[in-house]
Structures are given as structure tokens and as C-alpha cells.
Amino acid sequence: MEIFQIVAIGFVASVIIVLIRQSHAASLATLLSILVGVGIFTVMVPKIALVMNLLQELSNRAHINQFYLTTLLRIIGIAYIAEFGAQVCRDAGESAVASRVEFAGKVLIMVLAVPIIVAILETILRMLS
């Protein structure tokens, strides 16, 4: 099971990072934390691609407008990337910057969601009239 390997890597990396931080090499500990995070993310990219391909295939079969699927996938991507970036900032001790990264992610998600919300409201209005 991959999750056990990933958790084990995360646990070992966390212990090493704590030991490095105690030896007053905080910048090295932060760098190691970022590298482990990027490594785990890289391992997950094929899984993400698999899910995206499946959703693409299902939307093609259902004749769903690709604009909506693309927008939805972008929203999910922004959410994951913003969370990852915020966690890196928190690991570096910059919680204020992390909050701003999360805020920016939420704003970008809202901007991307507007066309979908408009389409839903237009559909509802057509059904009511």
C-alpha cells in the first residue's frame, strides 16, 4: 500500500527535520521539508492524472461541455496548490504569508466559479419562465 510508504517517508522526514532544527540549522530543515513535500507531490501526479483522464472520459460520454470540466479541474488544482504553498509557508514560520496564499487561492477559485454560477442561474431562470 502506497499510503504506508508515504506516511513512513513523512514520519522519518519529520523526525530528521526536528533534529536538524534543534541543531540550529532551520534553513536546512525548511529546505528538507520543501523537498519532501515536492517529492510526495511528484509521486502523486500520476494518480491525479489518472483521475483527470477518467473524469474527461466520463464527461465526453455524458456530452458535458468541456469548459465546465476544465474549470472544475482548475478549481481543484488551485485548492491543492494553495494549500501546499500555505503549508510550506507555515513550515518556514510565516503564518501571515500562508494566510495570504490561502486568501489568494480562495479569490481565484471564486473568480473561476463565476461562469459556472451564472450558467446555473440562467438554467434555473429558463426553467422558471
Judge whether 6 and 43 are in contact, CB under 8 Å: yes
Residue whose cell numbers read 494549500:
83
The total of other beta-carbon atoms located within 10 Å of residue 7's CB is 11
**Region 71-92 average pLDDT:** 90
- Read off the amino acid at residue 23: S
The three cell numbers locating residue 18: 526536528
- Within this chain, do residues 36 and 81 fall inside the same structural domain, yes or no? no
Whether 75 maps to a domain, the answer reads yes
The domain in which residue 79 lies consists of 65-129
Q: For the packed helices 66-91 and 26-61, what is the interaxial angle rounded to 10 degrees? A: 170
Global pTM reads: 0.74
Same domain, residue pair 84 and 34: no
As a whole number, mean pLDDT of residues 44-68 equals: 88
> Does residue 82 lie in a domain region?
yes
Separation between Cα atoms, residue 37 and residue 51, nearest integer Å: 21
- Structural domain contains residue 29: yes
In this structure, the answer to whether residues 15 and 72 fall within a common structural domain is: no
Tens digit of each residue's pLDDT (9 = 90 or more) over 96-129: 999 999 999 999 999 999 999 998 999 899 999 8
**9 vs 21: CA distance, rounded Å:** 18
What span, in angstroms and rounded, lies between the C-alpha atoms of 46 and 11?
23
Residue 61 has pLDDT above 80, yes or no: yes
- Whether 85 contacts 104, CB under 8 Å: no
Same domain, 38 and 77: no
Q: Which three cell numbers stand for residue 68?
A: 465546465
Q: What is the mean pLDDT of the chain?
A: 90
In this model, does residue 1 exceed pLDDT 80?
no
- Residue 126 resides in a domain: yes
24 phi and psi, to 5 degrees? 65, 30
